[in-house]
Amino acid sequence: MSRFLVKMSWAIVFFSQTIWMSASYASPKALVIGIKDYSYWSRLQNSRNDAEDMAKTLTDMGFETTLVVRDAQGEVNSQRFTDALNQFANRLQANDNVLFFYSGHGAAIPNDNGSMDGYLIPSNTPTVTRNNKQAIKDSAIALKNISETLSNRIDPDTGSLLFLIDACRNEVVNKGADVVEESTPSQPLSKQVEVIYATSNGSTSLDKLPTDTDARNGVFTRIAIDELNRHKNTQGYSSDAFFPAVKTKALQVARAAGKLQVPAWMNDTGKESFVFVPCPVGQPCVVVVNQPPASITANPDKQFWDEIKTSTDANDYAAYLKQYPQGAFVALAESRRDKYTNQASSSSAILDSLRIDTKAKKAMTAEEMIAERERNPQGTSIYESLSLKNTSAEKNPRVAALRLPNYDNKSPDPSSFGGCNNLVLDLNQGTLNGLVPTVSQAQVKQYLPCATGDTEDGEVYNYGGGVFFLDHDFFMYTGKDFIEVRQDFKGNVTDNMMSKSKAEIIARYGIATIDNGYKLFFNRQYGCLRFTFNGTSVKEIGVYSASCEQASQIK
């Protein structure tokens, strides 16, 4: 489907408002936190860069900036997060202008009243599973607590507080008795706090675009930094001018790459918006306000619809329905969603049935056969011509690499071959329930129908993309062709190697091909076997289709 770039023209209205700064004015202060490497949640691509670059930008604008990212102590866990917050709060004065910036994972967790509270996720927060809501809440940092900790130090008549939150607000990680969403819901935090979210409720904050090559920052943060840098010398520059520009540009950049991201703004303080560049002490200055037309301000439902109304992607209409379930265009959105979903399904089925192989199977390499198998998993000619029997496969590793999982072809239930109830990581074959690392995402989801999420192949985010099973603590990284299981893996590993020490691993497999101190890589017939240690014992095991040299370079 061809994508289009929506161009919006917002009138910029300038007006003067005299602001006199008192002689007791203190320098603006900022607390900036970025978390990239998570122990149990998916790894992020640019969040540490986001924090570092935002901290530099704010420092250049005159903020007294505190930056909290991974350092010699390790990643930002719950204790480091809490300590940094409290130490920062203790240095605040009543008349401070304070900015809190965060880039990382967020979560929405239901409270006792049935509504959702927003949390920010430190690096050590446990994975989302049924009935572990309290464990996550004990580790995560509530946005309301951050708000109260900072706003209690600020005089609402003389100081101000702005949150910039760059986190997703859409993915449901687990459904069950305890529902936990990877989200930061719109909610009043404090009458003193103004909040700008990187994306609207129910949507994704894009850490990286498919069109990005060397981008250091996510979409929202890169645009926010650019806007702040452009106006760092503009006295009176405020969030009234900042937010509309960031929203427009984020929408345009995302749409140009075939994505959707619409930042959101909450200002329930009853005061004027946050001023990034204050007036000099004792002098007046001009506040610049970028005010969109009344029709856009009053009707975000129509604005969203205008952005997607010519689209032929069913996902665009599904996104509209999720964000505006009572919107004016619901009936039309439902109709187009169903229409384009059915068209895509029908077209795919017809193309599969008509596909003609252009190359004789006997002339194909093993790698080409793997690609063909993933392209047309229902085809039979490859398997018939190779006679993939277990006896011959044991003698021929190239044939073994092509073998499909054992399952009952006559059963309508793909999980009949084992599914997620009988997981086995075979370190000798390099497979998980018979699935090799080169398996396609479609096959992973077919034979393991308990996935909790995925990112498309080709994304730098999450090791090239893959399918994730947070409830069972394993990951099928289809973009880089490797499988990883972690300490809480809900299955069995060959010879119970997950519980072994480094010495026991070496005794079993010999001298490692590559030893990175806390990682051991061993060449295997199928590719590479990797053990990662946490202290004295194994915490992760990975099997790769690539060589150990290639596997050790995957980041």
Highest-confidence segment of 186-195, 223-232, 247-256, 453-462? 223-232
Q: Which tens digits make up the pLDDT trace of 41-69?
A: 888 888 999 999 999 999 999 999 999 99
Mean pLDDT of 537-551: 93
In sequence order, what are the beta bridge partners of 119?
107, 142
Q: What is the mean pLDDT of the chain?
A: 76
Q: CATH number of 13-298: 3.40.630.30, 3.40.50.1460, 2.40.50.140, 3.40.50.1980? A: 3.40.50.1460
464: tokens are: 């090239």
Residue with tokens 């690392």: 437
Mean pLDDT of 467-476: 90
Residue 396 has pLDDT above 70, yes or no: no
pLDDT bucket at 27, cuts 50 / 70 / 90: confident
Buried b (16+ CB within 10 A) or exposed e, 241-263: bbbbbbbbbbbbbbbebbbbbbb
Residues 6+ apart with CB under 8 A from 343: 312
d(CA 209, CA 219): 8
Residue 371 has pLDDT above 70, yes or no: no
Which range has the worst mean pLDDT, 77-86, 116-125, 207-216, 417-426?
A: 207-216
Mean pLDDT of 409-426: 62
d(CA 508, CA 499): 13
> Distance from first CA to last CA of the chain, Å, rounded?
31
Q: Which tens digits make up the pLDDT trace of 232-285?
A: 888 888 888 898 889 888 888 877 777 777 888 887 666 778 889 887 766 666
Boundaries of every domain in the chain: 13-298, 299-344, 355-404, 411-551
Specify the 3-state DSSP secondary structure of 368.
helix
CB distance 317 to 343 below 8 Å: no
Residue 520 has pLDDT above 80, yes or no: yes
Phi-psi region of 481 (alpha: psi -120 to 50; beta: other; left: phi over 0): left
pLDDT bucket at 329, cuts 50 / 70 / 90: confident
Pairing outcome for strands 193-197 and 264-267 = antiparallel
Q: Which tens digits make up the pLDDT trace of 94-125?
A: 989 999 999 998 887 777 776 677 889 999 99
Please give the share of the chain, as a percent, with pLDDT higher than 70.
69
Residues in the chain: 555
DSSP state of 412: S
Q: Is the dihedral of CA 392, 393, 397, 401 positive or negative?
A: positive
Residue 122 burial (C-beta neighbours within 10 Å; 0-12, 13-18, 19+): buried
pLDDT bucket at 334, cuts 50 / 70 / 90: confident
Mean pLDDT of 20-37: 73
CA distances from 334 to 315, 322, 325, 327, 348 (A): 11, 11, 10, 11, 21
CB distance 429 to 400 below 8 Å: yes
Sequential DSSP letters for 168-224: ---EEEE-SSS-EEE--------TTEEEEESS-TTS---SS-TT-SS--S-HHHHHH
78: tokens are: 């719950």
Report the run of H or E that residue 529 belongs to, with start and end: strand 527-534
Sequential DSSP letters for 261-294: ---EEEE-SSSPPPBSSPPPBT---PPEE----H
Of residues 520, 536, 516, the one with CA closest to residue 528: 520
d(CA 51, CA 385): 55
